Amino acid sequence: MAEPEFTATGVRIGRRLRSLTRAGQVRISDGRLELLTSYGSEIDSAPVQAVRASKPWFAPEDRALADLNGNRYLLTLGEHDPAPGRPGPPAARRFIEAVRRAAGRGG
C-alpha cells in the first residue's frame, strides 16, 4: 500500500444535522478519498475524481465540505490547524488542495 497523500485524524464528520463521528479520519490514498470512524470503519469512500471539496460560506476556517456518492459531509478539521502566529494553512484548506491535486485539477 502506498503512503497516503493526505491524512487527518480527530476529524468531526457530519451529514446534514447528524454527527457521524467526533474523532474520525480523512485519508486520500491510491486515488481514493476515505472517511473513517474513530475505530477505522468506513463511513464512505469514492475516487477523488468524483469528489467535490469546497469551503462552506460564512464558516470558520477549520470547516470543509466534501460531496461524494451523492452525500454532502461537513468536515471539521480544526485539530491540526497551526497555532496562532505560526505559519501554515488551516487543515481545511490543505484538505481541499489535496483533493484537487490528487484529482489532477491543480492545487
Residue 98 lies in a domain: yes
Residue 44 lies in a domain: yes
pLDDT (tens digit, 9 = 90+) per residue, 5-32?
899 999 999 998 899 999 999 999 999 9
Banded model confidence at residue 62, pLDDT cuts 50, 70, 90: confident
Banded model confidence at residue 59, pLDDT cuts 50, 70, 90: confident
pTM: 0.84
Query: 44 is in which domain, residue-wise?
Result: 6-104
3-state secondary structure the chain: CCCCCEEEEEEEEEECCEEEEEEEEEEEECCEEEEECCCCCEEEEEEHHHCEEECCCCCCCCEEEEEECCEEEEEECHHHCCCCCCCCCCHHHHHHHHHHHHCCCCC
pLDDT (tens digit, 9 = 90+) per residue, 64-101?
999 999 999 999 987 555 555 555 556 888 999 999 99
Structural domains counted in the chain: 1
Q: What is the CATH number of the domain that holds 59?
A: 2.30.29.30
